[in-house]
Chains A and B, each alone.
Chain A
Amino acid sequence: MAMKRRSRTILRKTFSSLWVGGLGLVFAYPFAWMAVSSFKENSQIFLPLKFWPEFWDLSFFQQLLSSEWFSFGKVLLNSLVISLGQSVGAVLFTSLAGFAFAKHSFRGRGVLFAACLCLIVLPRQMIAVPLFQWVHTLGLYDSIWGVMLPGMTSGLGVLYFTQVFKLIPNAYLEAARIEGAGEWRTYRLVLPMLGSSLLSYGLIHFILAWNEHLVPMLILNSPDHQTLPLALSSLYGSSLRFPFAVLMAGSFLAMIPTSLFFLISYKRFKNSLSNVMMS
Chain B
Amino acid sequence: MSFFSNEIFGEASFVGGDNYREILKDSRYFKALRNTAVYTLSSLVLILPAAMILAHGLKSVFGKLRPAFQFLLLLPGLTPPAVLAILFLLVFHGRQGLLNQWFVLPFGWKYVNWLKDPDFILFALVLQCVWRWVGFITFFLLSGMEAIPKMYYEALQVESARSWHRFRWVTFPFLRHVILFCIVYLIVDAFALFSGAYVLLGGSGGTADAGLLMVSYTYQTAFTFGNFGTAAAMSVLMAPFLLFLLWACFWGYKRLITVSLARE
Interface residues of A (CB under 8 A from B): 12-14, 16-17, 19-21, 23-25, 27-28, 30-31, 33-34, 37, 45-49, 118, 120-130, 132-133, 136, 207, 210-211, 213-214, 218, 228-230, 232-233, 236-237, 247, 251, 254-255, 258-259, 262-263, 266, 270, 273-275, 277-278
A129 to B75 alpha-carbon distance, docked (Å): 31
What are some 9 contacts across the A-B interface (CB < 8 A)?
A19-B57, A20-B54, A33-B90, A126-B218, A128-B235, A129-B1, A207-B78, A229-B83, A255-B80
Chain A CB within 8 A of B37 CB: no
Chain A CB within 8 A of B21 CB: no
A33 to B87 alpha-carbon distance, docked (Å): 9
Chain B: number of interface residues, binned into ranges: 35 or more
Q: Which residues of chain B have C-beta atoms less than 8 A from A255's C-beta?
A: 75, 78-80, 83
Closest 3 CB pairs of A and B: A123-B192, A24-B72, A213-B195
Q: Which residues of chain B have C-beta atoms less than 8 A from A133's C-beta?
A: 1, 8, 228
In the complex, residue of chain B having the shortest beta-carbon distance to the beta carbon of A233: B82
Chain A CB within 8 A of B114 CB: no
Q: Which among B69, B96, B102 is the interface contact of A46 at CB below 8 angstroms?
A: B96
Q: Which residues of chain A have C-beta atoms less than 8 A from B239's C-beta?
A: 122, 126
Q: Is the CB of A17 within 8 A of B232?
A: no
On whether A213 and B238 interact (CB within 8 A), knowing A27-B76, A232-B86, A277-B144, the answer reads no
On whether A129 and B228 interact (CB within 8 A), knowing A27-B131, A33-B90, the answer reads yes
A120 to B102 alpha-carbon distance, docked (Å): 41
Q: Which residues of chain B have C-beta atoms less than 8 A from A46's C-beta?
A: 90, 93, 96
In the complex, residue of chain A having the shortest beta-carbon distance to the beta carbon of B96: A46
Q: Is the CB of B144 within 8 A of A121?
A: no
A237 to B61 alpha-carbon distance, docked (Å): 42
In chain B, positions 53-88 with a C-beta closer than 8 Å to chain A are 54, 57-58, 60-62, 65, 67-76, 78-83, 85-88
The smallest C-beta distance from B103 to any residue of chain A, in angstroms, reads 11
A127 to B1 alpha-carbon distance, docked (Å): 11
Known: A48-B98, A121-B243, A259-B78. 13 other contacts (CB 8 A): A27-B135, A46-B93, A48-B102, A124-B192, A125-B194, A126-B235, A126-B238, A129-B231, A136-B9, A207-B78, A233-B199, A247-B86, A277-B177
Q: Is the CB of B199 within 8 A of A236?
A: yes
Q: Which among B82, B131, B143 is the interface contact of A273 at CB below 8 angstroms?
A: B143
On whether A126 and B191 interact (CB within 8 A), knowing A30-B90, A230-B82, A233-B86, the answer reads yes
The smallest C-beta distance from A16 to any residue of chain B, in angstroms, reads 5
Q: Which residues of chain A have C-beta atoms less than 8 A from B202's C-beta?
A: 237
Q: Which residues of chain A have C-beta atoms less than 8 A from B222's C-beta?
A: 128-129, 132
Q: Which among A48, A263, A274 is the interface contact of B101 at CB below 8 angstroms?
A: A48
Q: Is the CB of A24 within 8 A of B86?
A: no
Q: Which residues of chain B have C-beta atoms less than 8 A from A13's C-beta?
A: 60-62
Q: Which residues of chain A have C-beta atoms less than 8 A from B83's C-beta?
A: 229, 232, 251, 254-255
Q: Which residues of chain B have C-beta atoms less than 8 A from A23's C-beta?
A: 54, 73
A49 to B101 alpha-carbon distance, docked (Å): 7
Chain A CB within 8 A of B39 CB: no
On whether A213 and B75 interact (CB within 8 A), knowing A125-B194, A129-B231, A130-B1, the answer reads no
Q: Is the CB of B80 within 8 A of A17?
A: no
Chain A CB within 8 A of B154 CB: no
In the complex, residue of chain B having the shortest beta-carbon distance to the beta carbon of A271: B143
